[in-house]
Amino acid sequence: MLGPDEITGLFTRDGRYLCARWGRPVAPVIFGLSDETLEIFRSVTRTALAHAVHSIVETDPEMGANLMMFFVRDWDDLEDIPDLAQLTGQSDLPERLKSGKADQYRIFRFDADGGIRACMTFVNMGGKLADAHPAELAEAMMMRAMLTFAREVNPSAALAELIRAAYDPVMPVAATDPSHALRLAARLPRR
């Protein structure tokens, strides 16, 4: 079981705590996968949202899709996405990802109450993720899109329990005070 200090570490970047969850139903769309792999990702997405007891919908009334995952073989392939700079707010994204030798990148957008409004995930399948098992990769991508983790996390039962605790209706959709970690820890199952 995760303790308050470990939870605080998961959501603290540059000395600032932020734990936000989706505040609106999730409308996912996935680009760049084969039909077979796409179905695996869809199934994992539905399962992750069901575990968190959060809604999935076909379309978001304001945005259409609000959870967008882009899979490419090389970061140069991002140049083929229409209006990428407008979508991300970053005109030099492909160059930065190449120079940083990143294999994935995530951008969150937030509603006025601090809840997640949108999440864009970009994944380079031409590098070290080329041999990743589709179900394991889907699980990792969904886990990282469910909350605003301050660092990369890997799927585990403990993190699945933490996500479910964060989606408890009595919890705020977003928190910036580290004492929030105490509330999350109190909602985790005792072993």
The CATH number that applies at residue 91 is 3.30.379
Q: Which two tokens stand for residue 77?
A: 């392939």
Could you give the number of structural domains in the chain?
1
| Helix or strand (DSSP H, E) at 19 | strand 19-20
13 belongs to a structural domain: no
User: Which structural domain, as residue segments, surrounds residue 61?
Assistant: 24-158
29 lies in a domain? yes
**Tokens 């490419």 correspond to what residue?**
72
Distance, in Å, from the CA atom of 4 to the CA atom of 6, rounded to the nearest integer, reads 6
**183 assigned to some structural domain:** no
Residue 103 in domain: yes
Grouped pLDDT means (10 residues each) for the chain, 191 residues? 95 98 97 94 97 96 95 93 91 93 95 97 91 94 97 95 97 98 95 66
Tell me whether strands 174-175 and 19-20 are parallel, antiparallel or unpaired: antiparallel
**Which pLDDT score, from 0 to 100, does residue 190 have?**
81
Instruction: Estimate to the nearest angstrom the gap between the alpha carbon of 20 and the chain centroid.
Output: 11
Residue 188 lies in a domain: no
Per-residue pLDDT, 128:
86
Spatial neighbors of 114 by CB under 8 A, at least 6 apart, are 20, 23, 172, 173, 174, 175, 176
7 assigned to some structural domain:
no
Q: How far is Cα 150 from Cα 111, in angstroms, rounded to an integer? A: 19
Burial environment of residue 129 by CB neighbours within 10 A (0 to 12, 13 to 18, 19 or more):
middle
Residue 3 belongs to a domain: no
Q: Are 75 and 123 in contact (CB under 8 A)?
A: no
Rounded to whole angstroms, the Cα distance separating 157 from 149 reads: 16
Measure the CA–CA gap between 188 and 191, rounded to whole angstroms.
9
Question: Quick one: how far is CA 151 from the chain centroid?
Answer: 11
* 153, part of any domain: yes
